[in-house]
């Protein structure tokens, strides 16, 4: 997705690209990678809010047929793809 800095502008640009999939109802999922979140010594579920969640939170996927659920933090989600 993004291979550089964790800024709102880069996440917004990525979100705009994924919006094309949304508009055409093409199922997909995204995963927060090491460039999407700050490095820390805490567990992933304890990292706190990151810009990534402003654009790719579970709320974005909640109405999609493939969405199966998410952890309370929003970083861990699952999707089921069929067909």
pLDDT at 39 over 70: no
> What mean pLDDT do residues 20-40 have?
83
The residue among 38 and 14 whose pLDDT is bigger is 14
Confidence of residue 42 (pLDDT cuts 50, 70, 90): low
Residues 40, 41, 47: CA angle, nearest 5 degrees: 55
Across residues 37-49, what is the average pLDDT?
62
Task: Give the DSSP per-residue string, 54-76.
Answer: HHHSHHHHTTSTTEEEE-TTSS-
Quickly state the pLDDT bin for 83 (edges 50, 70, 90).
confident
Q: Are 19 and 48 in contact (CB under 8 A)?
A: no
DSSP run (H or E) holding 12: helix 8-23
Give just the sign of the alpha carbon dihedral 69, 73, 55, 37. negative
pTM strictly above 0.85: no
């Amino acid at each position: 997705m993004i291979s550089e800095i964790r800024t709102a502008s880069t996440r917004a640009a990525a979100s705009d690209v994924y919006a094309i999939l949304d508009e055409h109802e093409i199922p997909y999922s995204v995963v927060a990678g090491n460039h999407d979140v700050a490095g820390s010594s805490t567990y992933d579920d304890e990292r706190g809010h990151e810009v990534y969640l402003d654009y790719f939170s579970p709320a974005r996927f909640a109405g999609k047929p493939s969405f199966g659920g998410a952890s309370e933090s929003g970083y861990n989600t699952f999707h089921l793809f069929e067909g």
